[in-house]
């Protein structure tokens, strides 16, 4: 309906009659309605283009969304407790010095739907208080490896496995930087995180919150050093 103010009515009718100066008042009112609808359509289209697109992972969740949410607090605590217990069990029987350097492999129950989802979750691994981890893009780019004093994730692996090596900068307890390796086999989608006992204990809660409950913890298999000196010297006794 047109406003009652004569001046506003005159101006609106003039706009409507731009295409046809001889248009009747009834047609002009109809044309004003069409113009208003076109304006609303353009506005809606403009807003949808300006809104950031939420990229979703294969399970329907937005990329980078933590597995555990605030409503899952109790389940998360139980998963973290079970994780810490199994880490302790995996290194049991070894000396303290051996435990400090022992590499552990942690396999997770929840599959990672894509390499993009892995990268996004690593980026937010430190939670709301951050910092956000600088993750090397999956696609080739001019990404430059940051300083060892910062958090970053460097892309490794090959066509068979996607690997991100996360740099853990030194802190008051560790003079040297450490690392955690996040690996997902192409096609298999099972996540394996590799790290020392200390790093996994320290950052395990965040890893569990982000990727969900672990499936198992294993000590990395290493080849035993040879003790046969005769083979080296080529002598027999």
Domains of the chain: 6-50 (no CATH), 70-219 (3.30.160.690)
Could you tell me which of 165, 179, 170, 102 has the C-alpha nearest to residue 135?
A: 165
In a 10 Å sphere around its CB, with 0-12 CB exposed, 13-18 middle and 19+ buried, how is residue 84 labelled?
middle
The number of residues making up the chain comes to 237
Condensed to tens digits (0 to 9), the pLDDT of residues 147-197 reads 999 999 999 988 889 999 999 999 888 889 999 999 998 888 999 999 999
> Which of 4-18, 37-51, 83-97, 199-213 is predicted least confidently?
37-51
Q: What is the pLDDT of residues 188-201, one digit of tens each?
A: 899 999 999 999 99
């Amino acid at each position: 309906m047109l406003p009652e103010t004569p001046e506003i009515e005159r101006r609106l009718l003039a706009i409507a009659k731009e295409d046809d100066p001889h248009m009747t008042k009834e047609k002009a009112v109809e044309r004003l309605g069409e113009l208003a609808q076109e304006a609303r359509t353009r506005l809606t289209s403009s807003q949808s283009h300006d809104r950031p697109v939420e990229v979703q992972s294969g399970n329907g969740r937005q990329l980078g969304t933590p597995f555990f949410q605030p409503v899952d607090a109790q389940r998360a605590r139980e998963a973290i407790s079970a994780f810490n217990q199994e880490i302790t069990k995996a290194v049991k029987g070894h000396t303290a010095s051996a435990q400090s350097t022992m590499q552990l492999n942690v396999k997770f129950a929840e599959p990672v739907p894509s390499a993009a989802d892995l990268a996004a979750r690593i980026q937010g691994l430190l939670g709301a208080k951050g910092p956000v981890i600088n993750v090397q893009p999956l696609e080739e780019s001019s990404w430059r490896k940051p300083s060892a004093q910062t958090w970053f994730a460097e892309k490794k692996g090959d066509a068979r496995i996607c690997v991100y090596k996360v740099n853990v900068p030194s802190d008051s307890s560790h003079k040297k930087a450490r690392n955690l390796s996040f690996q997902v086999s192409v096609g298999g989608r099972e996540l394996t995180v590799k790290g020392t006992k200390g790093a996994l204990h320290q950052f395990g809660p965040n890893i569990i919150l982000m990727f969900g409950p672990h499936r198992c913890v294993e000590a990395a298999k290493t080849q035993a050093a040879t003790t046969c000196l005769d083979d080296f010297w080529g002598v027999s006794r």
